[in-house]
Structure 1
Amino acid sequence: MKVLTINLMGVKLRTIQKENGGFYMKKWIALVCSCMLLFAGCSTKEEGTAGSGQTSTQDPVKTNELTVAVGAQFTTLDPALNSELINGYVMQHTYGTLFTKDEDNNLIPDLAESCEISDDGLTYTVKLKEGIQWSDGVPLTAEHFRYGIVRALTYGAENAWSIYNLVTYLDGAAAYESDDTQDAESLQIPGVQAVDDTTLVFQLTKPCAFFKALMNSYAFMPVRADFAPQHDSTWSFAPGYPSVGPYILEECNENDKIIVTKNENYYRADEITLDKITFQVMTDMDAQALAFKNNDIDIALRVNSSLPLTYENKEELWKVESPSNYFLVINSGPTGPEWMQDVRVRRALALAIDKEAMVTAVGDPSYYVPLDGYVPNGLKGAEKDFRTESDEKEKFLEYDPEEAKNLLKEAGYDESNPLKITYKYSQTTLHADVAAVLQGMWKAIGVDCELEVVESGVYYNQIFNGDFEIARYGYTASDDPSQFLTLWTTTQQQTPAVDDPEYDKMMDAATYIVDYNEYMEALHNIEHYLVQEQVYLIPLFNYGDPMLKKTYVKNTTHVGATPFYGYCTIEK
């Protein structure tokens, strides 16, 4: 689920996540664009100089309220529709899932008690914890999960990204994809069956090594027909509907703020320490920093990337680790220029980039870490972190400007016939800084690079339509390395920038592998082909947007890469 983004991270998935909160695949979420939230305010504000780290001379006063400033307006709180990180920051607190993640990104049971998997990897039998109730006292049943999944499947065309995994893996789901003529209460598909009140059975069309992780995604969240109609999502912004998560929606103005309060019926309510959390919309990064300085908010999750370089009180700087990458996509597909068809040219552009120098130029290197491969750090491999496993064998596309010049010469380019390219990016300070660095590095090997900046609102439409030569991209996902790799299959691209039948074949074959270690080895080979052999993409860096958190906010935790505030304590 998703990321982070960078303005980068906010990407929209194209069927996975895109700018503003996560990249989606068919539309990448603007994870990178919208990026992250900002924590804000408590009931009383600290006296003293903001950002100074000074604490009150009075005895600490414990409060049970927190305000979180987010970097964009909310668009939905309906799990059948959501694909944006901003919404997810609230939904993480108001919904429950079969499985969740700890701070190390390990999958652990939440509403599920157990899960048995058949030897062929096609049948998952999930038993629910007994005695769990919704906030209104109604017992949670397997039917609430079945309805939620089928409702998402048949909601309509608006949520094509959200149901990608349902359609891909659940038996019988493809026949009803976005079919809004169906009745989700009565429609039964083999792929998800409520056998009894506490038993849910999933039947897959092919193995999925990370299917348990998918049970942590939005489309698998339980909802009830009595408050979540099949083809309407406005209820999700109407305070008062039942919750099976730690908090209940109390107040909602999607353009201003959302307030959630503790669900006393939550099955682990005795562990929840905060009574109220306010998510305050503040789209301007400078405004968030100022609000933090003035003690109007407790945490700012979206501030300027250069802030850590000059910020005085380092204890207030906060970084949430997230499996996120910033990379370049080369349009070698049917709408791309002829020169992009030559792997020597693609490789030359990659070898000309000094990533160490780049991250130093664009911000604090502790927040922007050079990537030696496409899949970022933070995702589990066979035995270690997936990125670590690969880097220990080989680092992809290492800086070598002399070899870059030789490759261009082999491809027919020199001073009398320089390679001319256009680099496209969306309008933010970070993207502009990266573009300027790239332009200079490519110039050093004889490439004439023209920069084209596009408004964020239309940027990804142009990318999806294949209207670019080489462009920046950002993506985040936390379930499995394949989420990054499937983005570049032809079926997951609106207009393919990577149009390679061999790559499609490799990705498809990997989905049928049941043995986990063999599956991970296949993904390593796929990444090697995508980046090192064919150079369809050029990895640049892992990014973790800087945030600010008051030192009196204690015990912040994460569900995977997403901040969770329910266990926070605040001492002023």
Structure 2
Amino acid sequence: MKKKYLALALAASLVVSTLAGCGSKGNTTESPAAPAETTAESSADTSAEESTTADAGSAAHGPSSEAAPAWEEYNARIAAIRTETDLAKREALMHEAEDELMSTWAVIPLYYYNDVYLQKTDVDGIYANLFGFKYFGYATTPTNTLALQIASEPNKLDPALNSTVDGACLAILAFSGLFMYDENGQLVPDLAESYEMTEDGLSYTFTMKDGLKWSDGTELNAKDVEYSWQRLANPDTGADYAYLTTVIATKDDGTLDIEASEDGKTFSVNLVAPCAYFLDLCAFPAFYPVPQASVEGADGYADNPGAWCTEAGFVSSGPMVCTGWKHNESMTYEKNPNYYDADRVTLDKIEFMLSSDDTAIYNAFVDGSLQFADTIATDMMATVKDTPEFHKIPTLGTYYCGFNVNSDLFAGKTVEQAAAMRKAMCLLIDRQYIVDTIAQAEQEVANTFIPTGMSDGNGGEFRKNDGDYTYPLEDKVGYYDTDMTDANMEEVQALLESAGYQFDESGMLSAETPISMTYLTNDSEGNVKIGEAIQQDLAAIGINVTVETREWSVFLDERKQGQFDFAREGWLADYNDPINMLEMWETDSGNNDMQFGR
């Protein structure tokens, strides 16, 4: 008998005991052309009221600690993964962490991402990696200009503060890191000329390229890297990705154990434990250096660390600089003459259309106003899929939706009852319908959070059964059967009955025990349609779901603050290791939208 780890087994037994003791009865996707985000996701990615007792209505989103799962053991397990040097033990710990996460049923995976987009045939040189980063700086066009769309109004352009895929693409265009990804998806030096690693894997020393400059012509060196990494880790910055710095050792004063040489030529880093993905972090936008003088000299800096780059003209270091920004309408980037590799950049200008209107974006692509569109209107997918302008590439990520564990939706419930409610609703969602009719890019239906193809950090693939671990649903390698069956409906009813709900003779929730909640999504077409599909699926037993839409930046803020019951989510990995999809759920993580441990 293969081993299933303790966290899931305990959770399963708790649900079973609840079922035995209580007998009363009590669909976001990417618009086919838009994948989700390395950081969180993009605005176009598509490729939550009241308590569930008698009164229906809109939830106040106060704490519901009795129903929220305890999270101290999860936090401790993630900390252990970061320092574990035995790769087999590390992999086992990551399986345990995924088991514990999935046993809450707060994270509901729908499908694994494909990245689909439209690109004119006379455009070349645009490339992307598995994590959703798109590199536009080396594109070529007949006129040396490029008109494109990747999202609506960006939420944040400060590399340390951004947590969206579209924001990452803009950061890559305007800034540089120690490393970057090339057109083959391989890590190559960027601002760094070379690096050395000690034999134990605990220390790195980077040598910077000569003659580096910021876009305003001032010197860029290793001291800028040191400042920016310390800034990323500093809680006062409020960076969602600050937790990525926990692989770096700290000094006695609590700052990162990093140092730039006096002449700014070298940069040294000491790690807590060997980290196989450390160079990936060096290529991740959150670690890009930013100009201290601009950051700290901006009006409003004390209250808004990202105030320095909220308008065009900010100092940067990448292939292009932002020279124009009409908010909610357009952005203009022009070639940066002070970029160290400026000779490789042939584009003079990139014009960004800022929009979430999939139909308008498609029409602009058809009439030639756009040469690249990262969003494809759902109704047009069948038309474009067989054209030379349609592109589909693999990515490493999961489109999902999630429950706020502190929502009043679960008020008065035990931890086990709240988990049973969430599992019941998970089983009602017809994922194949979402893939076939909305996303339409042949995505793989998901029944685990960590996606197909992700490495296990030990020479294999994480999402596979082996001699040490068997997924709870062995034949489909996941946590539940995604097929809609009569048996599923029976399980749904039993789960909700265990949480105190009653059903009438027609199999619908009784008027005495209704469930009413909101589903929060941004306003792009594909994501809204997924919300409406989920709304219809849950209505099959009388659950009332109101789909609420928000403009992109408002949506991100409300979701981050836990101002929802149920929300659309998406995550493209930042690097190819399961820890990236697990550490985001730590209590203090800025990406812990489900509010675990809070």
CA displacement, residues 299-335 of structure 1 (integer Å, 9 cap, x when unaligned) = 2223323321234872222345433322232455585
Q: Secondary structure at the match of 2:353?
A: strand
CA displacement, residues 118-173 of structure 1 (integer Å, 9 cap, x when unaligned) = 4554422222234545556655421121123334455x846332434336745149
CA displacement, residues 240-259 of structure 1 (integer Å, 9 cap, x when unaligned) = 66654222344444444333
The 5 A counterparts of 1:286-325 are: 286-311=359-384, 314-319=387-392, 321-325=394-398
Partner of 2:578: 481
1:254–1:497 distance in 2 versus 1, CA, 3 Å = closer
Partner of 2:40: 17
Contact kept? 2:31, 2:438, Cα under 8 Å? no
Q: % of aligned pairs identical?
A: 25
Partner of 1:433: 529
The 5 A counterparts of 1:29-44 are: none
The 5 A counterparts of 1:309-388 are: 309-311=382-384, 314-319=387-392, 321-332=394-405, 335-337=408-410, 338=413, 341-342=416-417, 346-366=422-442, 368-377=443-452, 379-382=454-457, 383=459, 386-387=462-463
Q: Indicate the RMSD between aligned Cα atoms, in angstroms.
A: 4.5
Looking at structure 2, the residues matched to 260 and 461 of structure 1 have their Cα atoms a distance apart, in angstroms, of: 26
Looking at structure 2, the residues matched to 440 and 75 of structure 1 have their Cα atoms a distance apart, in angstroms, of: 31
Looking at structure 1, the residues matched to 592 and 340 of structure 2 have their Cα atoms a distance apart, in angstroms, of: 46
1:381–1:108 distance in 2 versus 1, CA, 3 Å = farther
Which of 494, 514, 518 is the aligned partner of 1:424? 518
Partner amino acid for 1:124? Y
Looking at structure 1, the residues matched to 464 and 406 of structure 2 have their Cα atoms a distance apart, in angstroms, of: 30
Contact kept? 1:379, 1:481, Cα under 8 Å? yes
2:166 paired with 1:166: no
CA displacement, residues 402-452 of structure 1 (integer Å, 9 cap, x when unaligned) = 4424434654465558555445323544344334444554566xx322111
Deviation at 1:108, TM superposition (A): 2.8
Q: Secondary structure at the match of 2:359?
A: helix
2:130 paired with 1:107: no
Looking at structure 1, the residues matched to 354 and 493 of structure 2 have their Cα atoms a distance apart, in angstroms, of: 52
The 5 A counterparts of 1:141-540 are: 141-153=221-233, 157=236, 159-166=238-245, 169-172=248-251, 175=254, 190-194=257-261, 196-205=263-272, 208-229=275-296, 232=301, 233=306, 235-236=308-309, 243-311=316-384, 314-319=387-392, 321-332=394-405, 335-337=408-410, 338=413, 341-342=416-417, 346-366=422-442, 368-377=443-452, 379-382=454-457, 383=459, 386-387=462-463, 394-399=477-482, 401-408=485-492, 410-411=494-495, 412=497, 415-416=504-505, 420-422=514-516, 424-426=518-520, 428=523, 429-442=525-538, 447-457=541-551, 463-464=559-560, 470-479=566-575, 480-492=577-589, 497=594, 499=596
Contact kept? 1:378, 1:385, Cα under 8 Å? yes
Contact kept? 1:238, 1:252, Cα under 8 Å? yes
Partner amino acid for 1:308? M
Q: Which has the higher contact order (CA 8 A, sep 6+)?
A: 2
Looking at structure 1, the residues matched to 527 and 578 of structure 2 have their Cα atoms a distance apart, in angstroms, of: 25
Partner of 1:537: none
Partner amino acid for 1:93? L
Question: For this pair of structures, how many residues does the alignment match?
Answer: 454
Partner of 1:556: none
Q: Secondary structure at the match of 1:201?
A: strand
TM-score (norm 2): 0.62
Deviation at 1:289, TM superposition (A): 1.7
Q: Secondary structure at the match of 2:170?
A: helix
Looking at structure 1, the residues matched to 355 and 528 of structure 2 have their Cα atoms a distance apart, in angstroms, of: 22
Looking at structure 2, the residues matched to 158 and 40 of structure 1 have their Cα atoms a distance apart, in angstroms, of: 40
CA displacement, residues 71-126 of structure 1 (integer Å, 9 cap, x when unaligned) = 32245543343334334333312211111123554433222233334455442222
CA displacement, residues 464-499 of structure 1 (integer Å, 9 cap, x when unaligned) = 555655443222333243232223333337998575
Looking at structure 1, the residues matched to 319 and 122 of structure 2 have their Cα atoms a distance apart, in angstroms, of: 19
Comparing 294-303 with 103-112, greater Cα deviation is found at 103-112
Looking at structure 1, the residues matched to 532 and 555 of structure 2 have their Cα atoms a distance apart, in angstroms, of: 18
Partner of 2:168: 88
Partner amino acid for 1:486? E
Partner amino acid for 1:473? E
Partner of 2:6: none
Contact kept? 1:350, 1:397, Cα under 8 Å? no
Comparing 452-461 with 477-486, greater Cα deviation is found at 452-461
Contact kept? 1:292, 1:298, Cα under 8 Å? yes
Contact kept? 2:233, 2:245, Cα under 8 Å? yes
Q: Secondary structure at the match of 1:397?
A: coil
Comparing 202-211 with 414-423, greater Cα deviation is found at 414-423
Partner amino acid for 1:477? A
Looking at structure 1, the residues matched to 325 and 489 of structure 2 have their Cα atoms a distance apart, in angstroms, of: 57
Q: Secondary structure at the match of 2:268?
A: strand
Contact kept? 1:227, 1:235, Cα under 8 Å? yes
Looking at structure 1, the residues matched to 593 and 415 of structure 2 have their Cα atoms a distance apart, in angstroms, of: 13
Contact kept? 2:118, 2:391, Cα under 8 Å? no
Looking at structure 1, the residues matched to 592 and 319 of structure 2 have their Cα atoms a distance apart, in angstroms, of: 42
Contact kept? 1:41, 1:66, Cα under 8 Å? no
2:149 paired with 1:65: no
Deviation at 1:352, TM superposition (A): 4.3
1:418–1:381 distance in 2 versus 1, CA, 3 Å = same
Q: Secondary structure at the match of 2:570?
A: strand
1:465–1:272 distance in 2 versus 1, CA, 3 Å = closer
Greater share of residues in strand? 1
Partner of 1:516: none
Contact kept? 1:10, 1:18, Cα under 8 Å? yes
Looking at structure 2, the residues matched to 478 and 496 of structure 1 have their Cα atoms a distance apart, in angstroms, of: 17
Q: Secondary structure at the match of 2:375?
A: coil
Q: Structure 2 stretches of 5 or more lacking a match?
A: 1-27, 47-110, 124-140, 466-470
Looking at structure 1, the residues matched to 536 and 292 of structure 2 have their Cα atoms a distance apart, in angstroms, of: 57
Deviation at 1:201, TM superposition (A): 1.0
Deviation at 1:223, TM superposition (A): 3.4
Looking at structure 2, the residues matched to 146 and 21 of structure 1 have their Cα atoms a distance apart, in angstroms, of: 34
